[in-house]
Amino acid sequence: MEKIIDIQHLSKTFGTNEVLKDINFSVNKGEVVSIIGSSGSGKSTLLRCINLLEKPTGGKIFFKGEDILDDKHDIRAYRAKLGMVFQHFNLFNNHDVLSNCMVGQIKVLKRSKEEAREVAMKYLKVVEMEKFIHAKPHQLSGGQKQRVAIARALSMDPEVMLFDEPTSALDPEMVGEVLKVMKELAGLGLTMLVVTHEMGFAREVSDRVVFMDKGVIAEEGTPEEIFNNPKLERTREFLKRTLEQN
C-alpha cells in the first residue's frame, strides 16, 4: 500500500516541555486513522506538525516520499494538499459560506471563479449546506459551521484530510450531523486522520486506531485490537474512563 504520510522520529518541544517524543507512524492512501488519547497527550500538536502549523523540533515527515521539512520544500503547496478541520471551525468571518469555500481555490490553486464556484457547490451539497451559501459564519449553528469548514477543506481537493476534534466544541445534538458527513467521506475512500473523543466513530469508521499518551504513540492497531483487546494497561484505563464519561 502507498504510504501517503510517513512520520519518522518526530519530536516537538515547547521550551522545556517535551510534547511529542519519537513519533513513528504512517498513513496509507485511502485509510481512515483515528487518534485517541487523553487531553494534553499531544494529539493536536501532532496534527499541527503534520501540516507545519507547528515546526517540529526533530525527525522527518515524508509526504508521498518527499521530505517536507527540507528547506527547499514549498510549504504552501504542500499545505494546500492537506485539508484541515479545526475544533473551533475557524471559518473566515468576513466571507459568506460560498466564499469561504472559494477563496482558497482562487488565491492558492489559481482556479477561475466559475470553476471554484462549481467545486464549492459540489462539496456544499455533500455537507448539505448548499442552501446557506449566502449566510455569514456568525449566522450559523456550530454544526452548520463545522460542515461548511469541511466543505471548505474538501474544495481544495486535498489528498489527506486532518480533523482535530471536529465535534468537541459542538452541542451534543449537533455532533451527529458532523459525524454523519465524516462517515460519508470515509465511505468515499478519502484518506483521513482524525483526532477524536468519539469512540463510536473511531471504532466503526476507522481502519486503524492510534492511542497517544504523554507525547508517545503508546499503542496502535485495528479498532478490534484497541477496543476489544488492548495490550497496555494505560490503554484499558483510558478507554474505561472515556466510556464511563459517555
Partner 1 sequence: MEFDIIVKTVTKYWPMFIRGAGVTLLISIIGTIIGSIIGLLIGVIRTIPMPERGFRKIILKVINTILSIYVEVFRGTPMIVQAMVIYYGSKQALDIDMTPLLAGIFIVSINTGAYMAEIVRGGIISIDKGQFEAAHAIGMSHIQTMLNVVLPQVIRNILPATGNEFVINIKDTSVLNVIAVTELFFQTKSVAGINYRYFEAFFVASVIYFVMTYTVTRILRYIERKIDGPENYILYANQMQVETPEDALMREQKYKGSI
Ligand X SMILES: Nc1ncnc2c1ncn2[C@@H]1O[C@H](COP(=O)(O)OP(=O)(O)O)[C@@H](O)[C@H]1O
Name the residues that contact ligand X, by CB under 6 A.
Answer: 14, 17, 19, 37, 39-45
Which 3 state secondary structure label does DSSP give 244? helix
Binding mask 115-134 toward partner 1 (x if CB under 8 A, else -) reads ---------------xxxxx
* Cα 46 from Cα 36, distance rounded (Å): 12
* Cα 26 from Cα 145, distance rounded (Å): 30
Establish if 80 lies at the interface with partner 1 (CB under 8 A). Answer: yes
CB 208 within 8 A of CB 26: no
Stretch that binds partner 1, among 22-30, 33-41, 107-115, 233-241 (CB under 8 A): 107-115
* Cα 138 from Cα 127, distance rounded (Å): 18
- Shortest distance (Å) from residue 57 CB to ligand X: 12
Q: Cell numbers 518526530 label which residue?
A: 10
Cell (9 digits) for 191:
484518506
- Shortest distance (Å) from residue 211 CB to ligand X: 11
Q: What is the CA radius of gyration of the chain?
A: 18
Site for partner 1, residues 24 to 53, rule: CB under 8 A? 51, 53
Out of Mg ion, ligand X, partner 1, none, what residue 45 binds, judged by CB under 5 to 8 A for its kind, is: ligand X
Strand order in the sheet with 3-14: 17-28, 3-14, 58-63, 66-67
For residue 191, is it left (φ>0), alpha (ψ between -120 and 50) or beta? beta
Q: Which is nearer to partner 1, 153 or 218 (CB)?
A: 153
User: Could you tell me how many residues make up the chain?
Assistant: 246
Establish if 82 lies at the interface with partner 1 (CB under 8 A). Answer: yes
Out of ligand X, Mg ion, partner 1, none, what residue 131 binds, judged by CB under 5 to 8 A for its kind, is: partner 1
Binding site for partner 1 (CB under 8 A): 51, 53, 55, 76-80, 82-84, 86, 88-96, 103-104, 107-109, 130-136, 139, 149, 152-153, 156
Binding site for Mg ion (CB under 5 A): 44
